[in-house]
């Protein structure tokens, strides 16, 4: 067994390592030029009167994008009985203007009225960017809005940046486009997708990918309460939710300070039992790669990566994980990364702070033993 200290480079943090191919894709051909740039919008999801954490994460990112563009950050929320309840959960993240649509029939969420509200509001406000959570609601609402506005949408982005683009075919230069960055083609490349000509530029982001933070700068904090009936049609409310069942979370993987994650190299469900024991000793949670989940070693709700949960623990222990780009997208911002792998050349080792070369069956029991001996 060999332990190696690995120094991180700048490219290790980003998924644009030379091992992967960075491509640029265009959503639509060039039709319009020099579009007027307006504000950044974030659609805020709610459960009752509680704003979803992913929406607060996107408000934080939206504020940064708005500052880069020199525009305002606007937010929109729709529900029933939310006036006076949601403002304090949204405005502290640097929102200049909040649109609160409060009316009967807007909660629980149904597709038609929320789509009508956003489509008609965006026709008035003409935002240049709209961000949504890549949730059940976001995956339903985002495509409906983008289709109605013929704007295009990039799902499950892992990074959002502002930059310029030169269309070599037409010779057109575009300033300050939204770089919508996400793994593509099975995770074999990282694609930077731009939408030069249609607005808004729309993107969805999974919960945990961005980190939320209260804004310490100045924002207008204006709140308006539009009449929802002017943005919807009575036919939008034909579908009604009769009953709802919300299952409580089984674990706190996303918020855990220590994550012990296993890959296909763990070998079996019994192998994961050791990881659960180690996580229990460390007061952490157990995660897994997609390969381990697909093999049936652990439940899907513990999957970390592009198609799972994004985590930001202080310590991330990767056991038998090769380090495919889809998995790295979900844990690359961890404080300290420890890799346990029998392959010294595994891709995960390139971003690890410490590498333990050895089998999971050999190393994990020793970690449990020594931790018990040296902890009080």
pLDDT per position as a tens digit, 189-217: 788 999 998 999 999 998 888 889 999 99
Is residue 196 domain-resident? Answer: yes
Among the candidates 189, 206, 237, a domain finishes at 237
- Give the mean pLDDT of 291-307: 91
In this model, does residue 56 exceed pLDDT 60? yes
Look at 158 and 302; give whichever has higher pLDDT. 302
Q: What is the pLDDT of residues 248-297, one digit of tens each?
A: 777 888 889 999 999 999 999 999 999 999 999 999 999 999 999 999 99
Q: How confident is the model at residue 4 (pLDDT cuts 50, 70, 90)?
A: very low
pLDDT value, residue 103: 94
Domain boundary among 206, 237, 268: 237
Q: What CATH number is given to the structural domain containing 165?
A: 3.40.50.620
Q: Are residues 230 and 310 in the same domain?
A: no
Compute the average pLDDT of residues 340-368: 92
CATH classification at residue 352: 3.40.50.1220
The pLDDT of residue 9 is above 50? no
81-90 confidence digits (pLDDT tens): 999 999 999 9
Q: What is the mean pLDDT of residues 360-370?
A: 91
Residue 128: name the closest of 168, 175, 85 by CA.
Answer: 175
**Per-residue confidence (pLDDT) for residue 37, from 0 to 100:** 55
Whether residue 253 is contained in a domain is answered as: no
Average pLDDT over residues 36-60: 91
**Residues 40, 114: one domain?**
yes
Domain-embedded: residue 14:
yes
Pairing state between β 201-205 and 189-194: unpaired
- In a shared domain, residues 42 and 125: yes
Classify residue 243: in a domain, yes or no.
Answer: no
| 266 and 305 co-located in one domain | yes
On whether residue 242 sits in a domain, the answer given is: no
224 and 137, same domain (yes or no): yes
Does a structural domain hold residue 316? yes
pLDDT digits (tens, 9 = 90+) for 90-113: 999 999 999 999 999 999 999 999
> pTM value?
0.76
Average pLDDT, the chain: 87
Please tell me whether residues 271 and 139 are part of one structural domain: no
Q: How far apart are CA 336 and CA 274, in angstroms?
A: 21
- Which of 172, 207, 237 delimits the end of a domain? 237
Q: How far is CA 360 from CA 5, 296, 343, in A?
A: 19, 18, 11
Based on the domain organization, do 305 and 233 belong to the same domain?
no
Do 40 and 164 belong together in one domain? yes
State residue 186's pLDDT score.
66
Question: Does 232 share its domain with 322?
Answer: no
Residue 31's pLDDT is: 36
Instruction: Kindly tell me if the per-residue pLDDT of 331 is higher than 80.
Output: yes
From residue 21, give the alpha-carbon distance in Å to each of 16, 184, 189, 323.
Answer: 7, 10, 5, 16
Same domain, residue pair 228 and 284: no
> Over 80: is that where the pLDDT of 10 sits?
no
| CA distance linking residue 56 with residue 213, whole number of Å | 8
Whether pLDDT at 367 is above 70:
yes
- Regarding whether 146 and 79 lie in a shared domain, the answer is yes
Residue 296 is part of which domain span?
A: 258-374
Residue 26 lies in a domain: yes
Rounded to an integer, the average pLDDT of 224-244 is 92
Tell me how many domains the chain contains.
Answer: 2
What pLDDT score was predicted for residue 6?
Answer: 47
When pLDDT is averaged across residues 10-17 and rounded to a whole number, the result is 35
Tell me what pLDDT residue 251 has: 81
104 Cβ partners below 8 Å, 6+ apart?
80
Do 230 and 265 fall within a single domain? no
**pLDDT above 50 (res 20):** no
Assess whether pLDDT exceeds 60 at residue 1: no
In the prediction, which pLDDT does 26 show? Answer: 43
* 113 lies in some domain: yes
> Residue 76: which of 53, 46, 100, 95 has the closest Cα?
100
**Least trusted range by pLDDT, from 11-15, 110-114, 128-132:** 11-15
Q: Does residue 23 carry a pLDDT above 90?
A: no
């Amino acid at each position: 067994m060999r332990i190696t200290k690995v120094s991180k480079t700048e490219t290790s943090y980003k998924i644009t390592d030379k091992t992967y191919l960075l491509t640029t894709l265009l959503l639509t051909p060039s039709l319009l030029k020099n579009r007027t740039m307006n504000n950044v919008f974030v659609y805020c999801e709610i459960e009752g009167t509680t704003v979803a954490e992913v929406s607060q994460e996107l408000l934080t990112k939206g504020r940064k994008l708005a500052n880069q563009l020199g525009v305002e950050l606007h937010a929109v929320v729709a529900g029933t009985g939310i006036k006076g309840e949601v403002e304090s959960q949204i405005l502290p993240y640097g929102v200049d203007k909040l649109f609160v649509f409060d009316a009967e029939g807007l909660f629980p969420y149904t597709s038609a009225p929320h789509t009508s509200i956003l489509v008609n509001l965006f026709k008035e406000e003409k935002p240049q960017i709209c961000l949504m959570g890549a949730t059940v609601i976001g995956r339903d609402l985002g495509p409906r809005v983008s289709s109605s506005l013929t704007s295009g949408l990039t799902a499950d982005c892992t990074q959002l940046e502002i930059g310029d683009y030169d269309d070599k075919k037409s010779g057109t230069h575009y300033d300050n486009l939204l770089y919508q960055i996400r793994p593509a083609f099975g995770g074999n490349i990282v694609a930077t997708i731009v939408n030069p000509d249609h607005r808004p530029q729309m993107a969805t982001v999974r919960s945990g990918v961005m980190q939320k933070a209260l804004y310490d700068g100045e924002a207008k904090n204006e709140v308006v309460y539009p009449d929802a009936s002017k943005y919807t049609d009575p036919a939008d409310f034909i579908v009604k939710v009769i009953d709802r069942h919300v299952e409580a979370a089984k674990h706190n993987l996303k918020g855990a300070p220590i994550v012990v994650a296993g890959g296909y190299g763990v070998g079996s469900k019994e192998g994961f039992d050791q990881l659960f024991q180690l996580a229990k000793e460390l007061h952490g949670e157990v995660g897994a790669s997609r390969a381990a989940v697909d093999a049936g070693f652990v439940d899907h709700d513990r999957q970390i990566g592009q198609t799972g949960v994004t985590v930001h623990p202080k310590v991330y222990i990767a056991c038998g994980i090769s380090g495919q780009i889809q998995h790295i997208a979900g844990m690359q911002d961890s404080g300290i990364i420890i890799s346990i792998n029998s392959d010294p050349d595994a891709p995960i080792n390139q971003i690890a702070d410490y590498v333990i070369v050895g089998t999971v069956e050999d190393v994990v029991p020793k970690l449990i033993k020594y931790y018990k001996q040296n902890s009080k």
